[in-house]
Amino acid sequence: MVMNPTRICIAGVAGRMGQCLLALTLKDPELKLVEALERRGHKWVGHHLSEVAGVEKGLGVVVDSDLHHESTAQVFIDFTEPVTASFHAKVCADLKIPIIIGTTGVVGDEKDRIARAAEHIPVIHAPNFSVGVNVLFKLVEQAAEALGDSYDVEIVEAHHNQKEDAPSGTALRLYQSVLKGFEPNAGYTAVHGRSSFNRGVRTKKEIGIHAIRMADVVGEHTVYFAIGGERIELTHKASSRDTFARGALRAAKWIVGKDPGMYTMAQVLGLE
């Protein structure tokens, strides 16, 4: 038995990712769930998780809508939506609680708010917490560096039909991995989809990023490197959301005790 398990709070506990995080947390002796949040007005708020989520009795956690000043959580995990995630980042900064953010589609003021929180607490805001995907980021960067920018590069991602942002945060991060591997300031631009009605032939200075939305696809990403005579494909396919939850919980254990700042999953995994 672990003497001092990491105490965590899960935001959006009734959601798909929240349910994965909850199930894996309860199985991990190195973790202890001490708080769980859902949006105001949600039917779970005010009820014990043992009643609404079907988890083991005696857990003693009542679903709340706010993180309070008397919180005992050591790490806050958020897979909600951009406005909520950025708000939670500010609250965590005020309470000095490290935060793990897996919410994608964060831009503008929300992104700035998370960056400001990192001035006061350790933050990991990753487009994808899968260990395999983060290894893919590194492999794509190495491939781009080794192959050179004479290769055409295309990125294709597929997700379920309820995903709101497109292209995915993971696809955009893969695009950055390609650029990092190519010569600095090579002048590449992203092209999101193509149509012969408004474009000519493919230029050498573009990287296609294409989004597919269908049924219940968890997440698939492929980066193509092609030149006359050969093609390299680097692909990651997720068949369960558990892979993202496991990575987030691994990050939660790692981040405790770190200095304020913005950290990456590559650092968690020792890839940089």
pLDDT (tens digit per residue) in 3-14: 799 999 999 999
- Asked if 96 is an active-site residue, the reply is no
Q: Which of 33, 35, 31 is nearest to 5 (CA)?
A: 31
Q: How confident is the model at residue 194 (pLDDT cuts 50, 70, 90)?
A: confident
Q: Which of 47, 163, 210, 258 is catalytic?
A: 163
Across all residues in the chain, what is the average pLDDT?
Answer: 94
Q: How confident is the model at residue 79 (pLDDT cuts 50, 70, 90)?
A: very high
* Residue percentage of the chain with pLDDT more than 70: 97
Q: Which of 216, 118, 208, 221 is nearest to 169 (CA)?
A: 221
- Alpha carbons within 13 A on the beta-carbon side of 39: 10
Averaged pLDDT, 36-51: 95
Indicate whether 196 pLDDT > 80. no
Averaged pLDDT, 212-229: 97
- Asked if 210 is an active-site residue, the reply is no
Q: Which of 88, 125, 159, 221 is catalytic?
A: 159
Q: Which of 38, 80, 79, 32 is nearest to 60 (CA)?
A: 32
pTM: 0.88
